[in-house]
Structure 1
Amino acid sequence: MREWWIAAHYELLKYSRMRSVLIILIGLPLVLILLLGSAFDTEIKPAKVALFIADQGEMSASMDTFWNDEAISHYIKVLPANSNKEIQDWLREGIADYGVHIPAGFSERLLAGEAANWLTYSGRYEEKNIAADAVVNGYLGQLNLQLAVVETLGPDALETFKETISEAKTIVPPISTYNLGAGDNQSFGKTTSLQYYSAAYLIMFLLYGGMTAAIALLNQRENGTLQRMYAISGSFRSIVFGIIVGAVLLAALQAVIIVAFTAYVYGVDWGNHFMWITLICLLTTAAGAGLAITIASIARTVKTTQSLFGIIVFSMTFLSGGMITGIERLVGGANKFTINHWANESLRAIMSHSDTSNVWREIGVLSLIALVLTIIAVIRLPKVVKQHA
């Protein structure tokens, strides 16, 4: 017990002094998640609309209902202003994305059949202006349409128009959003782009974290350290196990930092089942370590192991859709033969709050893969730690 804990402790101490390794295993995935998650983000951010209502006529109830309706909350976030000047100040300072001033007497002019409009102010972001214009014009368009009906039918329809318009409920603007030109291959399913790439690159770099166990064993064998440890009175197996545990603890630290950073800085929703996420990360690390040790038993050198393992992990990440979304539809089911697929699917199911039975199915397959690779690694381990095995 004491031997493997001391070996694990010194492995962690060694990794803490290897800044380049820490940057690659922890810093690089955070950068990739931010870049790809932001580049492919199609989620609509509500436009902040500075609103000043000077009109207190018969239409005020209808307008209050309109601006407070949940149907437009996905596109509009209302910031109540106290004056027209305050709207313009907020737009200039970037506090608001768009401005609306409903002038006094709007209700009277509208119900009298006169032309009535709101004063609108565009902000600095075109996409925000388009969303806000669609909401405002949708509401005003419906009012002007009914006004045109009154003018066409004559004065007799005016009273009916007043009763209808004063009791009008919110008119939902017909806004639909699509990722034009991308097709189905760019769909992130029930997750956002940030969630999608957070899961993909967490798993990819946890696999690389598992590789550090095999690299540490190969380095110590080539340096003769393992041979000297074999001669001491302590348990050689415990020391080797401690070196592997040190790599697993590094991967655990890596997972904690990536999940915590993306959750609190990037705003990624990882769901509510953190024990399941912990289990998935441990299984992925075990599978990565098992695969790396198996490759190291064949390659026998650090450089060859790194090259082969890097190619395999890169290929698995690509086939599982970690680089190009939707690629799994084009590879004929080859993605299901990768570690990444089962780990990613289980994480995304947790993120999207899917049925727990689906999560356990994915975790079950991942557990089986990790178990098989671990058994193979234990059988092949002497080829890694012994000089002439």
Structure 2
Amino acid sequence: MFMTRHGEFRRGLGWRCQIFTPIMLCLLTLIICQVVRPVDGLDLFGFNVRMPSLFPRTGNVLGGTVQSLEKRAANKTLWILAKTYQGQTFFDEWDFYSGPDYTHGLVDYLNKTEAIASGLAYITEDGRANMHVDSVTPLTLDEINSQTKLRPSIRISTQAKYNQGLFILDVAQAPYGCGTWPAYWSTNENWPNDGEIDIIENVHSSVSNQVSWHTTANCTLISPGNYTGTAGSTTCDHNYMSNTGCGIVDQSIASFGPTFNAKGGGVYAMKWDSNSIDVWFFYRSAIPDDILTGLPSPGTWPLPSASLSGLGCPIDTYFRNHMLIFDMTLCGDWAGTSYEAAGCPGTCAERVADPSSFVNATWSINSIKIYNQTVINTAYLDAGTGRTGYSFWAAVFALIAALLLFL
């Protein structure tokens, strides 16, 4: 018998390895690492190659198509439900404002007790939160002009305040009609320093919604931009043109007014983050499935109808701590000054005196759902691209193993 450092030779048997010597352990380890199971991020030989497993989930170990598994990491944005206003408890966390109208409207805002007692605020049997302008009480023109008596109406605001998020309003009916000026919007007591976002707003019997923003100086709406609506003023500063703000009109002629209500309303979604404030409108028949299932994914939606980009208006600088607000004012700074031009009959004050003018001045809300943005890191196994047969290096190691073990 002739001894070598790594093996012994026996007549008739050829070379037989002492498999527990260090060099054999090393070779077997390399074979296992390179052939039996791929290792992400580890290239023992610097060849940047990946070997298929000897026992792949799919494929042919003898050289057929092999599907390798690759471990990948990715950041995924999820919108997690944080708050719901809906059903019999809808009004529990809202304050009813009962002071004078800031926009000089000819309305008398009722407190919660008055609003419920008069039947102007209530929850329907099917769970909708309804708010009305009074449409039964006659008023005289003298009462209106002297403002000794004005038409009862509703303005409510959330007790909670929000910074960013995804706000999804499902509305069955919105107010419209000559002299009306309804709005669904957000701001706080520190107006205009903390900004204002008007999500649903227009006057009279307009057919298209207008989204607008009101801020302090040096906030600009980019036009054209990443939205489908038509931009009006691009200066958001409240001091510009008597607080016109910057705004975008929805292209849809059913996003406001009688046609909106006739179609059963729809969904308005506002996404507010550091990059932009975006607003979408979806017809009742076109609400995305992810909204209906409670798993909204704005990244899969079409372009918003309106968007204020942080490129023209640094969002975190101009918007913070907002409460949500619904109101229905009459005449005032916008509906009053545009009344005649809109083709409405008589004067706006005469309109307010007649209760029958406001049978369509109703908010009917199915729900408001507020989602917070959560970014998670996901590491998961994903099927990689198909590979045919063993790689070159797998074949080399297999050959070495065969020679050492069987010769």
TM-score by length of 2: 0.19
Bigger fraction of residues in helix: 1
TM-score by length of 1: 0.19
Larger RCO (alpha carbons 8 Å, 6+ apart): 2
